[in-house]
Amino acid sequence: MAITTPLRITSSLLRNCEEVDHKSGYETSSVLLCGSDSAIPFSHKISENKFSVQSEPVLCDGMQPGKLVQTHVLYDESFGYVSQIRGCGKGKDLQKGIRLHEDVQKKGLLDKCSDALISMYAKCGALGKARELLRSQKTRNVFSWTSLITGYAQHGQSENAWKVFEQMQEEGVEPDAMTFACVLKVCGTLRALQHGEKVHDQLVEAGFLEDNIVLCNILLDMYVKCGAIVKAHRTLQELPSRDVVSWNTLIAGYTRLGHDERALSCFDMMQHEGIFPTAMTFASVLKACGSMKAISRGEQIHHEIARHRLLDKDIVLGNALVDMYVKCGALLKAQEVLKNLPSRDVITWSTLISGYAQVGQADQALACFREMQLEGLSPNAVTYACVLKACGAIGDIEQGEKIHEDVMQQGLLKYSEVLGTALVDMYAKCGLLSKAKYVHDKLPSRSVGSWTALIAVYAQLAQGEQAVCCFEQMQHEGLQPNSLTFASALKACGTIGAIDKGEQIHDEISRQGLLGSDVALGNALVDMYIKCGALLKAQKVFEMLSARNVATWNTLIAGFAQVGQSDYVLNCLQLMQHEGIHPNASTLSCMLNACRFRGLVDDAYIYFMNMSTNYGVGPHLEHYISMVNSFGNAGHLDKAFNIIQGMPCSDYPEVWLAFLGACQKWKDISFGRWAFEQLIQLNKNDATAYIIMINIYSATGMQDEAIMIENMMNENNAY
């Protein structure tokens, strides 16, 4: 039977058992177990007059275990409300929180519960209520201010969070570590570097960075998110202490900004300090290796990961490893790694499938897709987009349509613009332009990507009018073209000679300042003017480009070569080399054609013979064909024949057709018959060779031979 006694606890016991929570104003006493230091805590408020008396069990010295002494304790009713309100915040139960607010207000407990209520409202997203309650507080403390700041930050209102922080300081309330941590995250989200630097200064002045590594790491993260990676690195070096999280933040920042060598350098420094990398560290440096195509370094890191058996428990790291090998072009190695992973998910497979699709190994991409499905993994939007790219590359419309059905059944088009673009592109690449247009028109939301895919295919298939029409319709829908869209539209303008529309697009590109660093767009602009015959305009644009590559030069050279301006072409060759740009096979092909148009056969032959020596480019098929045409047009059939004889392999119909065409021009029967026989050995079903040979015989009065070739063409079903 329990014995009830009044509350009498010795001062020594009180000193040993009391803890004071200065933030909440609650004193916590304890219920002690006899003869031990164990205690069960309870709380009571020692200010104000709202107390209720409750009995609590206590085991006292001299009593047997199991015997209880009931002690009357003072219990503040607001404590229970505070606990319930905090529960509402954690559970996002706003309605219950509002009811509790009404209760405490009726009972006159609002002052004691307001901090908890502000926190609850902030967590539930009722930021207006939280702010209103804060304003009504007689004394606003750092806890309430921080709750409101955190609420704004967590609900995507970072600018308001910063304003509240400024108001808090204007009222003379000093931020604590929690406040600073939240505000630094706000600065990172807003990319507000100046605000972040101001907070950094306050942290240093208050001495918070001396013993709070977590706050230090949040500071580093703020600088990284603001793109101030150099400042982040300097800050890390100045920190009194740093841990693996500090280094991970910096390494990930360098990788995200494309400073891959610096990321690897930090990785080395971190290890030199004796800090062992985590899976996150390895994932970041593997990404850097992939971007740099540094496969040797990637393999070293792979060995280190394997030595510590980190792949056994981290699928994200396994995915990073597969991605590194894919980006380095080592697809077989990537597939081997994937097969040996203890577990793999849809991301692992999608990475490999994407790699195969990007390098044109569509069959292998589809094989991986089937294998992934056999493992019971469901594709996501990214997987489907990669597989659709593979289907388009090899014209596998059957598989593409099946994927389209799966996508529709799963409703994925509602959530993925990339997938919609991939579908449009797949149908277009398979030659089903009407289907591509139909799918595009039915998309839940048409994006810049889907319009660009459609415009690009129309332009590639020389349907320039349709491409321009789509471009205008896209703009009418309020979508802003990107560089790829503009490039495709310019190609379409060049195809149909629409120079007026091309100039309009040029003006729009200039207004948006897109030509600054986009070489491909500059090339498209030069090409459009070339194809429209506006060579001087093309030259003017070319000279204004701040960045140009060998393709830019080739576009200009090809345009002037086509109109026979060989002197200008030769001058361009010298100028591009002076810029440090080396001619490639296409450049030299343009050079040879320029010489051919001007009848400069000997000059063309000199360039041809010195290609390897002077430019480090061996003759390609296009160069042999150009020389055969040059000699053939000039009537030097013996020299053209010698060019063919000098080829490493002459089993190319294009070469023999060029030679046979020259024989027709000069009515040369012997060389013509030889070229014809080579052609029908390569492809006896192509009617072109038969027709040319018939014309040669007919032009020289050899009608019987012409009829014989015609009969041969019919027997071989040539067409």
CB within 8 A of 602, min separation 6: which ones?
none
Q: What is the pLDDT of residues 580-625, one digit of tens each?
A: 999 999 999 999 988 888 889 999 999 999 999 999 999 999 999 9
Q: pLDDT per residue over 624-636, tens digit each? A: 999 999 999 999 9
Tokens of 661: 């065409």
Q: Which two tokens stand for residue 126?
A: 């009722």
- Please state, in angstroms and rounded to a whole number, the distance separating the CA atoms of residues 671 and 594: 26
Per residue in 163-212, pLDDT (tens digit) is 999 999 999 999 999 999 999 999 999 999 999 999 999 999 999 999 89
Does residue 28 register a pLDDT over 60?
A: no
Question: How would DSSP label each residue in 439-503?
Answer: HHHHSSS--HHHHHHHHHHHHHTT-HHHHHHHHHHHHHTTPPP-HHHHHHHHHHHHHHT-HHHHH
* Run of H or E including 5: strand 3-5
Calpha distance 283→351 (Å, rounded): 14
b/e burial code for range 569-607 (CB count within 10 A of at least 16 → b): bbebbeebeeeebebbbbbbbbbbbbbbbbebbebbbeb
Instruction: Count CB atoms within 10 A of the CB of residue 648.
Output: 7
Q: Give residue for tokens 């091309």.
A: 502
Say if residues 15 and 29 touch (Cβ distance below 8 Å): no
User: What digits encode the pLDDT tens for the residues 364-377?
Assistant: 999 999 999 999 99
pLDDT at 91 over 70: yes
pLDDT in tens, 294-327: 999 999 999 999 999 999 989 999 999 999 999 9
Is residue 331's pLDDT more than 70?
yes
Cα separation, 260 vs 464, in Å, equals 41
Percent of the chain scoring above 70 in pLDDT: 89
Is the Cα dihedral 215, 218, 222, 228 positive or negative? positive
pLDDT at 451 over 60: yes
Q: 281-316: b or e for each residue (b if 16 or more CB lie within 10 Å)?
A: bbbbbbbbbbbbebbebbbebbeebeeeebbeebbe
Residue 285 binned pLDDT confidence (cut-offs 50, 70, 90)? very high
pLDDT band at 149 (very low <50, low <70, confident <90, very high): very high
pLDDT one-digit tens code per residue, 501-510: 999 999 999 9
For 383, what's the count of Cα atoms within 13 Å in the CB-facing half-sphere? 22
C-beta of residue 15 within 8 angstroms of C-beta of residue 31: no
The model's pTM is: 0.70
Q: What is the pLDDT of residue 75?
A: 52
Whether the Cβ atoms of residue 32 and residue 17 lie closer than 8 Å to each other: yes
For residue 18, pLDDT over 80 is answered with: no
Query: Helix, strand, or coil here: 172?
Result: coil
Which residues, at least 6 apart from 253, have a Cβ–Cβ distance to it below 8 Å? Answer: 223, 224, 229, 232
Average pLDDT score over the chain: 89
**pLDDT tens by residue, 342-399:** 999 999 999 999 999 999 999 999 999 999 999 999 999 999 999 999 999 999 999 9
Q: Among candidates 586, 524, 581, 591, which has minimal Cα distance to 560?
A: 591
Which one has a higher pLDDT value, 601 or 51? 601
- On whether the CB atoms of residues 610 and 623 are closer than 8 A, the answer is no
Q: Is the pLDDT of residue 39 over 90?
A: no
Nearest to 366 by CA among 348, 346, 389, 345: 389
Span 682-686, average pLDDT = 94
**What pLDDT, on the 0 to 100 scale, is given for residue 88?**
97
Instruction: Identify the bridge partners of residue 45 per DSSP, sorted by sequence position.
Output: 26
Give the separation between CA 60 and CA 105, rounded to whole angstroms. 40
Does pLDDT of 27 surpass 50? no
Residue 454 tokens read as 């459609």
Length of the chain counted residue by residue: 719
User: Measured on CA atoms in the order 15, 19, 21, 24, is the torsion positive or negative?
Assistant: negative
Q: How confident is the model at residue 219 (pLDDT cuts 50, 70, 90)?
A: very high
d(CA 518, CA 548): 9
Q: Are residues 303 and 273 in contact, defined by beta-carbon separation less than 8 angstroms?
A: no
The ranges assigned to domains in the chain are: 3-75, 345-445, 641-719
Q: Which residues contact 384 (CB under 8 A, 6 or more apart)?
A: 403, 406, 407, 412, 419, 422
Q: Which pLDDT band holds residue 78 (cuts at 50, 70, 90)?
A: confident
- 620 by Cβ neighbours in 10 Å (0-12 / 13-18 / 19+) ranks as middle
- Give the distance, in angstroms, between the CA of residue 447 and the centroid of all CA atoms in the same chain: 17
| pLDDT of 53 strictly over 70 | no
Instruction: Give 364-401 as a DSSP string.
Output: HHHHHHHHHHHTTPPP-HHHHHHHHHHHHHHT-HHHHH
Tell me the C-alpha distance between 522 and 679, whole Å: 41
The answer as to CATH 1.25.40 being correct for domain 641-719 is: yes
Question: Which of 570, 622, 633 is CA-nearest to residue 596?
Answer: 633
365 and 356 Cβ atoms separated by less than 8 Å: yes
How far apart are the C-alpha atoms of 454 and 449, rounded to whole Å?
9
Comparing 155 with 64, the larger pLDDT belongs to 155
Q: How far apart are CA 631 and CA 602, in angstroms?
A: 9
Highest mean pLDDT among 12-26, 31-45, 551-565, 702-716: 702-716
